[in-house]
Amino acid sequence: MATLNILILVCLGYVVLLFGVAFAADRMAAAGRGKWLRSPLVYTLSLSIYCTAWTFYGAVGNAARSGLEFVTIYLGPTLVMVSWWWGLRKLVRVGRSQRVTSIADLLSSRYGKSNTLAVCVTILAVLGGTPYIALQLQSITLSFSIFAEADPSGLYREGSSVFWVATGLAVFAILFGTRNLDANERHHGVVTAIALESVVKLFALLAVGVFVVWGVAGGMSPMMDRIDASEIGRWNVDAGRWTTLIFLSAAAFVCLPRMFQVMIVENDDEGHLRMAAWAFPLYLLLMSLFVVPIAVVGLDLLPEGSNPDLFVLTVPLSQGNDWLAMLSFIGGFSSATSMVIVTAMALSTMVSNHVVMPIWLNTQEGLGSISGDVRNIVLMARRVSIAVIMALGYFYYSLSGGGTALSSIGLVAFAGISQILPALVGGLFWRGATRTGALVGLTVGFVLWTYTLLLPGMGGVWMPETVMQNGLFGLGWLRPQALFGIEGMDPMVHTVMWSLSLNTVAFCITSLFSFPSPLERLQGAQFVNVFDHSATPRGWTGSVAQSEDLMIMTQRILGAGPAQEFFQTEAEQQGGRSRLPEPTPGFLNRLERELSGSVGAATAHAMIGQIVGGSSVSVEDLLAVADESAQLLEYSSQLEVKSAELSRTARKLREANTKLTQISEQKDSFLSQVSHELRTPMTSIRAFSEIMRDTKGLRGTEQTRYAAIIHDEALRLTRLLDDLLDLSVLESGQVSLNVGDDSLRSVLDRAVSSALAGTDEKLAVRRSRASERIPLHTDLDRLGQVFINLISNAQKYCESPDPILTISAHDVGGRVVIDFTDNGSGIPPEAQSMVFEKFARVGVDKAGGAGLGLAICREIMQRLGGEISYLPGQGGGAFRVSLPLAYQQAAQ
Amino acid sequence: MTAEGESERKPSGQRPSVFLERQSYRRRRLTDAARLLPFLGAALFALPLLWPGLSAEGQAVPLSSAMFYIFACWGGLILVGLIFGMAARRLRTRDESETEADQWRR
Amino acid sequence: MSRKVLLIEDEPNIAEAIRFLLTREGWQVQTHGDGVDALQVIRAANPDLVILDVMLPGKSGMDILRDLREQDGMQSLPVLMLTARGQSRDREMAENAGVSRFMTKPFSNAEVLTAVRDLHAQATRL
């Protein structure tokens, strides 16, 4: 008797084997070896995750209950595969050319990259997927319990085993599904492991079947007799259910997220479909070949009331064939684990790409460019999603108690996920299908499915008996299992019929009456006419692409290490001498696929398009940027930020250019001014010196007078040169300040006396010396220079017959403010803004100043951390000087 | 179908244009066959609906016969699919360039 | 016959130097230091020759010359223009405005005298 311990050991050993296979396959794929990893056989075998534990155990149970009805679940997919030329080929082509990462991504992409739709599909998929995962957990637990019953040690506890199984599966999915950011690319490790598992489960079921037919029943014809003699020995299939289930399984086969993952996303080569088209139906046929014999033998051999869902295990056990039972247990374990792993991966991709990432990107608004963090965020989002999905499955299992027959949960999930079908088929074949139509159709189907199948199945609080009997709000035609008063239908047929037909009707009518956005119409055309648009997925022409730019961008998204590795490998493969690969179309395509794993297909495409430029940036990309109705949520928000950044930069450049032009003009006019100011005194000097040289008999007084003019003009030149020098030193900021301490009063004293010295013009200076007792810590000489300038300006320009200059000082919160007000006419308003500019002179220059004084004052005050300004409306010329009491370096 | 495929294998390398027409004609007919296959399958699988059920007391078809019928049809579909797949592949590998040219024309 | 020159120049020292030079040559020299009413002064003084500075307070010498040339009987009045901004652009502008002779400061006294003599000779010959 196989003990539980051996069973657990075998399980662990098997899991270790799977890990090893997955790891080795990943390594081989990374090293570029292992072409068989991409063979059509592996592809076909990976499709067999369609056969879950429900199929493995439940088909026999179903056969034991309803005869041949179980076969419908296989006939649907068979028909889909056989008609690959119609549908799957197109789906795979679209999936590859649009680089979709999940069924939600496909629908969102088709309907104008609508994230709303993607979120809806994701929710539907999670809702449908959770019970399904619970179902797998239950099957593993049940099979454990069969062995536990036979194990005398009885250490087995159901709850904890489920928990550990769930945890183990989550770890596997996280390890191999999110090892690197390749989610929309191929997971060679996982796919290979799944292919192995599918071989194991087929082998196990065939082994049990062979054992039953030849070991127990004694050959083909006795078996056939036994079948006909059994309680299910007559053809007794409900016509409605037969048709409905074939249709339903066909629909679910295409719509299930895990099937989409292995069939479309993991597809390496469209040509693989050719083999899968016959090989996968063959696999299904083999899987179902011995189902009826096992069921019949089980019904015969085992006591009344034993669970037919577990005949695959219990029949060999009852015959004492422990090792066969063990093999079949491993087969069931394989079915459950592979399904759970792929489902978790597919759902986590959907959740992270359509729920977590849009939210995250939205909160990151303003950051603009993508930092290296994105990759960790995506990975983390996927890992957490996997954990959460597994936890959901675990809780669903714990809460539901695992009572329902296995296959009915599976069918409920099928019916739920099939609600996607109208939108999917419509999107592929009908250009008129719109986003609104898809949303309305999905919603109608989803609501009907929930109301007529999901909730009644859960029973209890979720669907009170009164509603079941009398309908919602007591309305008879709203009874969940007899909508519109049509009674007596099988609940499953009832739900599928109503939900899918009303879903389709709503989808079509809404599509007809709504109008698609431009992007939607464009995508619609690309999907429906995919064979016209793309011989192969769109290629890049990278003649102008800059490998270095690509490298920089890739580093920011993938991180430095992986990016460099990727480029290095590419360069080596090209056999080039340079460390960067040439931007060949093949390389660009691979790079885009690499990038789309972390930022999504649309963004990756647009980003490469921006760098590569040229014709490969499709209208679609441009529309994605321009079309405001394309919901901000998805990646377009990034594009918008980028384009805003570009226009900001352009504006800055324009501003800088204008400023440079202005500066250049200012420089020209300054030079011209300087030239004028220098030439004017030179002219007088030259003229009078020539007069004195050439004129004979010049009178003494004339001689003295002309010499005085020459002297004055020479002084004026010197002053001008001094001022220019001073100004240039101040403006260049290289002036060294000589900071000292004194009171404002003594600075003013010195300034007044030196400004008024040596002039005969009378200027009365009025001061309130008491208020000037303010201690200053600043460059006293420079401040004095400003004061002198202001005082002599008043002296020069105040036209009043009795010129008076009033100087008043205030201490205003750490700053001192000094006003110089004269009683002249002041500066006319139009000239006030000009007075501090260089060479700005107001009116006739009486004293021959160069017009640099106030410009110098302004520079000085800026150096001292203060300012000088003209005070309008003071009844005369008025200047205000303000500066901090204590000069600080930082004040500049 | 296989025999026809074999006979067309002979002219390899540079093919005269006469054969091009024929190639593409063959491929179209093959495609037609492939497209019809699911309908045939659906019809075959729908046939059991006409069988008398248990309600017809004793007349019901034995399960073994039903199984035989279903699996035979199933196997037949797989076989035709296999043949089609092989033929399509042979045609495809032989005139890869024509396939592309053909797509251009469309 | 007394020859009359009108000197429009805002720098008093330069005006004084030119006045000294031309007075000794026998010219009657009238000076004016502002741009705003220069046109009226020219009309009123009716000189044989005008010496015009470019940088004048109120109105630039260029504008004065341009307006002057638009008035009747002023097209042939010799105008000698002086400027301290010796850029080629200024010379072009002055020629477009109808200047008779253009000189850059600082000038030599001989140059000014030659220019004045030439201009006067041309004007009287016509």
| Contact state of C13 with A690 under an 8 Å Cβ cutoff | no
Q: Which two tokens stand for residue B93?
A: 């590998």
CB atoms within 10 A of CB A715: 12
Q: Which of A794, A734, A783, A787 is nearest to A761 (CA)?
A: A794
A289 vs B contacts (CB less than 8 Å): 71
C109 reaches A (C-beta below 8 A): yes
Q: Tell which residue, A341, A195, A205, has the closest CA to residue A279.
A: A195
pLDDT at A530: 67
Q: B35 at the A interface (CB within 8 A)? A: yes
Query: For residue A534, what pLDDT is reported?
Result: 45
Residue in A235, A236, A282 closest to B78 by CB: A282
Q: Tell me: cis bond preceding C106? Omega within 30 of 0 counts.
A: yes
DSSP conformation class of B61: P
Option in B60, B70, B78 nearest A236 (CB):
B60
Q: What is the signed CA dihedral for A624, A626, A630, A636, rounded to 10 degrees?
A: 60
pLDDT-derived band of residue A466, with 50, 70 and 90 as boundaries? low
Give the pLDDT confidence score for residue A183 in this predicted structure: 41
- Do the beta carbons of residue A885 and residue A816 sit within 8 Å? yes
Q: How far apart are the first and last CA of chain B?
A: 26
**Closest by CA position to A424, among listed A91, A34, A43:** A91
Tokens of residue B61, six digits: 């078809």
Decide: A53 and A336 in contact? Cβ < 8 Å: yes
Neighbours of chain A (3+ CB pairs under 8 A): B, C
Residues of chain A that touch chain B, judged by Cβ-Cβ distance less than 8 Å: 67-68, 71, 75, 78-79, 81-83, 85-86, 224-225, 227-228, 230, 232-237, 239, 242-243, 246, 271, 274-275, 277-279, 281-282, 285, 289, 292, 531-532, 535
- From B4's Cα to the closest Cα of chain A, the distance in A is 20
pLDDT greater than 80 at residue A639: no
- Kindly give the parts of chain B with pLDDT less than 50: 1-19, 95-106
User: Is the pLDDT assigned to residue A628 strictly greater than 50?
Assistant: no
Is chain C adjacent to chain B, meaning 3+ CB pairs within 8 angstroms? no
- Cα separations in angstroms, A843 against A328, A799, A826, A846, A854: 110, 12, 11, 9, 15
Is the minimum CB–CB distance between C18 and chain A shorter than 8 Å? yes
Which position has the higher pLDDT, A444 or A406?
A444
Residue A361: CA atoms inside 13 Å, Cβ hemisphere, count? 27
Q: Would you say the C-alpha torsion A532, A536, A541, A545 has a positive or negative sign?
A: positive
Residue A619: per-residue pLDDT: 43
Distance from CA of A334 to the nearest CA of B (A): 25
Highest mean pLDDT among A150-159, A178-187, A324-333, A518-527: A324-333
| All structural domains of chain A | 4-363+370-403 (1.20.1730.10), 541-617 (no CATH), 648-731 (1.10.287.130), 738-891 (3.30.565.10)
B102–A contact, CB cutoff 8 A: no
Tell if the CB–CB gap between A228 and B100 is shorter than 8 Å.
no
CB A80 within 8 A of CB A254: yes
Q: Name the more confident of A159 and A236.
A: A236
Partner chains of C (3+ C-beta pairs under 8 Å): A
Q: How many CB atoms lie within 10 A of CB A51?
A: 26
Q: How far apart are CA A335 and CA A344, in angstroms?
A: 14
Name chain B contacts of A285, Cβ cutoff 8 Å.
Answer: 71, 74-75, 78
d(CA A839, CA A727): 12
For chain B, what are the domain ranges? 19-45+62-97
Q: Within 10 A of A470 (CB to CB), how many other CB atoms are there?
A: 14
Is residue A118 within 8 A of residue A350, CB to CB? The reply is: yes
Could you read off the pLDDT of A473-503 as tens digits, one per residue?
666 666 666 667 666 677 788 888 888 888 8
Dump pLDDT digits (tens) for A72-91. Answer: 888 888 888 888 777 788 88
Tell me the ipTM for this assembly.
Answer: 0.91
Residue C115, token pair as written in the block: 């220019």
Distance from CA of B30 to the nearest CA of A (A): 11
**pLDDT recorded at residue C6:** 92
Phi, psi of B36 (to 5 degrees): -80, -25
pLDDT over 60 at A633, yes or no:
no
Calculate the alpha carbon distances from A622 to A95, A605, A609, A628, C109 in Å: 21, 11, 10, 11, 74
pLDDT for position A186: 61
Q: DSSP states of A188-223 as a string?
A: HHHHHHHHHHHHHHHHHHHHHHHIIIIIII-SHHHH
B50 touches chain A (CB under 8 A): no
Minimum-distance CB partner of A292 among B53, B63, B77: B63
| Per-residue model confidence (pLDDT) at position A890 | 46
Place of tokens 């140059």: C111
Q: What does the pLDDT read at residue B5?
A: 39
End-to-end CA distance of chain C: 17
Measured between beta carbons, the chain C residues lying within 8 angstroms of A691 are 17, 20-21, 109
| Domains present along chain C, CATH in parentheses | 3-125 (3.40.50.2300)
- Please tell me the distance from the alpha carbon of residue A839 to that of residue A849, in angstroms, as a whole number: 9
pTM score above 0.80: no
The mean per-residue pLDDT over the stretch A418-440 comes to 85
The residue in chain C having the minimum alpha-carbon distance to the alpha carbon of residue A841 is: C57
CB of A119 within 8 A of CB of A126?
A: no
Tokens of B20: 């091009």
Chains that touch B (3 or more CB pairs under 8 A): A
pLDDT by residue (tens digit) across A270-287?
778 888 888 888 888 888
C17 Cα to chain A: minimum distance (Å): 6
Determine which helix (DSSP H) or strand (DSSP E) holds C4, and give its type and residue range: strand C3-8
Helix (H) / strand (E) containing C49: strand C49-53
Residue A179 burial (CB < 10 Å; 0-12/13-18/19+)?
Answer: middle
Q: How many CB pairs under 8 A join A and C?
A: 63
Say what percent of chain A tops pLDDT 90: 1
**How distant is the Cα of A530 from the closest Cα of chain B, in angstroms?**
12
Work out the pLDDT band at C7, boundaries 50, 70, 90: very high
| Closest CB from A682, A695, A844 relative to C57 | A844
- B72–chain A nearest CA distance, Å: 10
pLDDT at residue A361 above 70?
Answer: no
What local confidence, expressed as pLDDT, does residue A333 receive?
84
Query: Sorting pLDDT into bands at 50, 70 and 90, what band is A577?
Result: low
Residue A845 is predicted with a pLDDT of 47
What is the rounded average pLDDT of the residues A28-41? 72
pLDDT of residue C5: 92
Q: Of the segments A223-237, A516-530, A594-608, A642-656, which one has the largest average pLDDT value?
A: A642-656
The answer to whether A886 and A818 have CB atoms below 8 angstroms apart is: no
What pLDDT, on the 0 to 100 scale, is given for residue A462?
Answer: 62
What burial letters (b/e) apply to A718-746, b meaning 16+ CB within 10 Å?
Answer: ebbeebbebbeebeeeebeeebeeeebbe
Q: How far is B60 from chain A (nearest CA, A)?
A: 6
Q: Closest chain B residue to A284 measured between Cα atoms?
A: B74
Dihedral pair phi/psi, residue A764, rounded to 5°: -85, 125
pLDDT (mean) for A345-350: 82
Chains A & B: contacts with CB separation below 8 Å: 105
Summarised one tens digit per residue, pLDDT across range C24-76 is: 888 999 999 888 888 888 888 889 899 998 888 778 888 888 888 888 878 88
Q: Which residue of C has its CA nearest to A672?
A: C85
Both tokens assigned to A58 = 């439940």
Taking residues A853-866, report their average pLDDT: 86
Mean per-residue pLDDT of chain A: 77
From C1's Cα to the closest Cα of chain A, the distance in A is 25
Contact C34/A at CB under 8 A:
yes
Across the range A628-634, mean pLDDT stands at 40
Q: Which residues of A touch C (CB under 8 A)?
A: 672, 675-677, 679-680, 682-688, 690-691, 694-695, 709, 712-713, 843-844
pLDDT given for residue A847 in this prediction: 44
- Give the position of tokens 């009707």: A505
Interface test with A, best of B39, B78, B91, B100 (most A CBs within 10 A): B78
Cβ within 8 Å, pair C106-A679: yes
- A532 chain-B contacts, CB cut-off 8 A: 106
CB A604 within 8 A of CB A612: no
Give the pLDDT mean for A516-527: 69
Q: In the predicted model, is pLDDT for residue A761 greater than 50?
A: yes
